[in-house]
Homo-oligomer: A and B are copies of this chain.
Amino acid sequence: MPPHGFSPTVPRARPAGPEDTVGQKQERLFLRPIGRMDREERGPMPDIKFDVVGIGNAIVDVIVPVKDELLERENLPRGGMRLIDEAEATRLYGMVGPGLEMSGGSAANTIAGLASLGSRTAYIGKVRNDQLGGIFRHDIRSLGVHYEVEAATSGPATARCLVLVTPDAQRTMNTFLGASVTLENSDVDEDVVRSGSVLYLEGYLWDPPAAKEAFRRSMAIAREAGRTVALTLSDAFCVDRFRDEFRHLADDGIDLLFANEAEIKSLYQVETFDEALQQLRHRSRIAILTRGEKGSVIVSGDEIHVVDADPGVTPLDTTGAGDLFAAGFLYGFTRGFDLVRCAQFGAMAAAEVISHYGARPEASLAEIAKQRGLLKDR
Contact = CB atoms under 8 A, between A and B. Distances in A.
A260 to B, nearest CB: 25
Interface in A78-107: 93-94, 96-103
A131 interface: yes
A164 interface: no
A206 to B, nearest CB: 27
- Can you tell how many copies of this chain the complex includes? 2
Contact of A139 (B98, B112, B158): B98
Interface in A125-152: 130-132, 135, 138-140, 142-143
Interface string A228-253: 00000000000000000000000000
A157 interface: yes
A142 B100 contact: no
Nearest to A142: B97
Q: Chain A binding site: helix, strand, loop or mixed by DSSP?
A: mixed
B138 A99 contact: yes
A216 to B, nearest CB: 30
A358 interface: yes
Contacts of A135: 62, 99, 101
Interface residues of A, number: 27
A283 interface: no
Contacts of A112: 98
Most chain B CB atoms below 10 A, which of A131, A140, A143: A131
A171 interface: no
A366 to B, nearest CB: 14
A360 B98 contact: yes
A138 B158 CA distance: 18
Rank and list the top 5 A-B pairs by shortest CB-CB distance, nearest first. Answer: A101-B101, A98-B139, A131-B131, A97-B142, A131-B132
23 contacts: A62-B135, A65-B362, A96-B142, A97-B142, A97-B143, A98-B102, A98-B103, A98-B140, A98-B142, A98-B360, A99-B135, A99-B139, A100-B100, A100-B358, A101-B101, A101-B102, A101-B135, A130-B130, A130-B131, A131-B131, A131-B132, A131-B157, A131-B158
Most chain B CB atoms below 10 A, which of A94, A98, A138: A98
A98 B132 contact: no
